[in-house]
Amino acid sequence: MEKLRPNNGGKNIIADQLKALRNQCGLSQRDLAGKLQLAGLNFDKNIITRIETSNRFVNDFELKSLSNYFGVSYSYLLDGIPTSEDLENIPIYFHYKKYVET
């Protein structure tokens, strides 16, 4: 049986979404790792780098931790399609909505 792989041949499918969320929050990889560490999670800059470059597998606990930190669904991290709840929490959509309402 063939293993499922992302289109880019990497080791995870959340790389693009994680990088986009981090950038939209104005965080460096080191900043994000620090915030996750303060929350008691075992992330460092190298882990974030390897996830974002799709050079590291992401386990279910890490997926849940990242989902909770950014306030988005697992499915958004996995396939990049936001739910209506995700739209309220994703920074770029939040700023767009705020701009449109004013």
- Provide the pLDDT for residue 97: 38
Q: How far apart are CA 13 and CA 4, in angstroms?
A: 10
Q: Is residue 4 part of a domain?
A: no
Determine the 3-state secondary structure of 16 from DSSP.
helix
- Does 92 fall in a domain? yes
Q: Residue 23 is part of a domain; what is its CATH number?
A: 1.10.260
Residue 1: inside a domain, yes or no?
Answer: no
Domain range for residue 80? 15-101
11 within 8 A of 57, measured Cβ to Cβ: yes
DSSP states of 26-87 as a string? T--HHHHHHHHHHTT----HHHHHHHHTT-S---HHHHHHHHHHHT--HHHHHH----HHHH
The per-residue pLDDT string of the chain (102 residues; one tens digit each, 9 = 90 and over) reads: 545 455 556 889 999 999 999 998 899 999 999 999 998 999 999 999 999 999 999 999 999 999 999 989 999 999 888 888 877 777 655 444 333 344
| This prediction's pTM | 0.77
Single out the residue of 75, 49, 76, 48 nearest to residue 62, CA to CA.
48
The verdict on residue 3 lying in a domain is: no
Q: What pLDDT was estimated at residue 83?
A: 83
Count up the domains in the chain and report the number: 1
Residue 6 located in a structural domain: no
Can you read off the two tokens belonging to residue 13? 């499918």
